[in-house]
Amino acid sequence: LFTSMVAAGEKSGHLDAVLNRLADYTEQRQHMRSQIMQALLYPAILTFFAVAVISILLAAVVPQIVGQFEHMGQSLPGSTLFLIAASEFLRSYGLLVVLAIFLAIAGFKRALKKPAFKLKIDTRQLKLGLIGKVSRGLNTARFARTLSILNASAVPLLEAMRISADVLDNSFMRQSIAEATLKVREGSSLKNALEQTKLFPPMMLHMIASGEKSGQLDGMLERAANTQDREFETLVTVSLKVFEPVLVAVMAGIVLFIVMAILQPILALNNLVGG
């Protein structure tokens, strides 16, 4: 991307303007990356502490309390038996489970280096509801912004589409853009070629068509990218606001289950003594 833009700027004699666009582009990508990291930080910390608290309860607290009932030979309810089984499993195999998770993640990352496997994963990713919507939004915005900069820098459209496709994270979308590039080479309009991929939102396609007709394609592409970025920020903000209370509710439910599983045999023993 940078090499093509600098070369185009040197040929057109507008290298200073091209470098300014590159600086804005880099700043925009850094800003978006920073926003994503900040948005995910609190939920990640909350999830970590939730898992840690529940693990400590199951591995350290529960065995000491529930063990007293086993020594008394008292008949235990199903919830308490389940809690004991979960506690014993965590104490016996907890480290193995953690190790298996790390090995699975490492193996998955290694497998992603194989193009065929990555293509399958990326194809399925786009069908995963919210995750697919986020991935599609990020990549279409990145494509539109990159194509806008290249087009404004006098890079030929076909070359600009090829370079813009290379900056996408999703290999299925890269493949689809490559097919759209062939259609443009055969005489199709940019809007029609991208529409056939079924990856771009209608508003972005409308803005691209308007830019092609008015001769202001770079400006409309940039506006389309800005619109996508705003929609992405809204989607992430709303999703995280929903996720946080849901996580707290799930954690509270698990802790409540643990407390009730401990209290049930105590209450049963009190009723037995009282009777």
CA–CA dist 10, 6 (Å, integer): 6
Q: 13 pLDDT exceeds 80?
A: no
**Angle between helical axes of 129-152 and 115-125 (0-180°, round to 10):** 110
In terms of average pLDDT, the best of 84-98, 168-182, 230-244, 254-268 is 168-182
* pTM across the whole model: 0.74
Q: 236 pLDDT exceeds 70?
A: yes
Q: 118 pLDDT exceeds 80?
A: yes
Burial label, 116 (beta-carbon count in 10 A; 0-12, 13-18, 19+): exposed
CATH architecture of the domain with residue range 20-274: Up-down Bundle (1.20)
- State mean pLDDT over 157-174: 88
pLDDT of the residue at 26: 79
pLDDT of the residue at 70: 63
In terms of average pLDDT, the best of 6-15, 81-90, 180-189 is 180-189
pLDDT of the residue at 21: 75
pLDDT band (50, 70, 90) for residue 38: confident
pLDDT digits (tens, 9 = 90+) for 132-157: 888 888 899 888 888 888 888 777 88
Compare 74 and 40 and report the one with higher pLDDT.
Answer: 40
The tokens for 20 are 């300014």
Name, in order, each residue with C-beta under 8 angstroms of 172's C-beta and a sequence gap of 6 or more.
119, 122, 123, 126
User: Is-contact 181 49, C-beta < 8 A?
Assistant: no
pLDDT of the residue at 50: 81
pLDDT of the residue at 4: 62
CA–CA dist 68, 2 (Å, integer): 69
Q: How high does pLDDT run on average in the chain?
A: 83
- State mean pLDDT over 57-62: 78
Q: Angle at CA 239, nearest 5°, toward 107 and 195?
A: 80
